[in-house]
A and B are shown apart, each in its own frame.
Chain A
Amino acid sequence: DVVLTQTPSTLSATIGQSVSISCRSSQSLLDSAGNTYLYWYLQRPGQSPQLLIYLVSNLGSGVPNRFSGSGSGTDFTLKISGVEAEDLGVYYCMQATHAPLTFGSGTKLEIK
């Protein structure tokens, strides 16, 4: 199975600060058709996860544009440009290029 390694495991930020989360894959997530099925989700405390980013860099519906995704191959990054209080929670990357679909272990964002 593809292993996704997220760093850091915990992140502490002040309101307005920009932060980045890394997701590294044990295999390239580029498929033979040229697609990269890498996703980012946020799970706020006590809530279900919500989609932030699909296909590496596409913003989910209704997701604020302070969130952005980038990367290719095995290295991917989620950036939050100007953290807001509502951004606290656990961020997960997920890959769907290789079966079975796998998630990273999560990055917990705390607000100082």
Chain B
Amino acid sequence: VQLVESGGGLVQPGKSLKLSCSASGFTFSSYGMHWIRQAPGKGLDWVAYISSSSGTVYADAVKGRFTISRDNAKNTLYLQLNSLKSEDTAIYYCARSRLWVLFDYWGQGVMVTVSS
């Protein structure tokens, strides 16, 4: 099982960014997927979830600004980040879940820095 995030970087406040999480080693379409973030030196903060059937749930802090999606043909999870704020600065991790086993595999994380 491998999850590899990409797409991070430095972006100005109010701008957009799209993160990707490439999955391999398991049947991607059978798993729910999550994005979890960690601000520098801080704890873990759940961001968004997409079910195997593409139902979505968001944390209040990102609702209306972030969009989670998936492409099962490409075994890839996405997170579109719009209207970015300085408080969105964090390492963003993707992680999988199935039934009651949550986050048994995590990606290595990708850094997003929102600054002018």
Interface residues of A (CB under 8 A from B): 35, 37, 39, 41, 43, 48-51, 54-55, 60-61, 90, 92, 94, 96, 99-106
Contacts and interface: CB of A to CB of B under 8 A. Distances in A.
Which one of B43, B44, B60, B101 has the highest number of Cβ atoms from chain A below 10 Å of its Cβ? B44
Looking at chain A's contact residues, the main secondary structure is loop
A58 B108 CA distance: 24
B101 A92 contact: no
Contacts of A92: 43-44
B44 A35 contact: no
Contact of B102 (A90, A96, A99, A105): A96
A50 B100 contact: no
A105 B39 CA distance: 12
Given A39-B103, A49-B93, A92-B44, 16 more contacts: A39-B102, A41-B103, A48-B93, A48-B107, A49-B44, A51-B104, A54-B101, A54-B104, A55-B100, A60-B104, A92-B43, A94-B103, A100-B59, A101-B46, A103-B44, A105-B43
Which one of A37, A92, A103 has the highest number of Cβ atoms from chain B below 10 Å of its Cβ? A103
A90 B44 CA distance: 11
A26 B49 CA distance: 23
Interface of B: 43-46, 49, 57, 59-60, 93, 100-104, 106-109
A95 B106 CA distance: 17
Contacts of B46: 100-103
A48 B104 contact: no
Contacts of A94: 44, 102-103
Nearest to A37: B100
A48 B106 contact: yes
A50 B109 CA distance: 13
Contacts of A54: 100-102, 104
A100 B93 CA distance: 17
A92 B57 CA distance: 22
A2 to B, nearest CB: 12
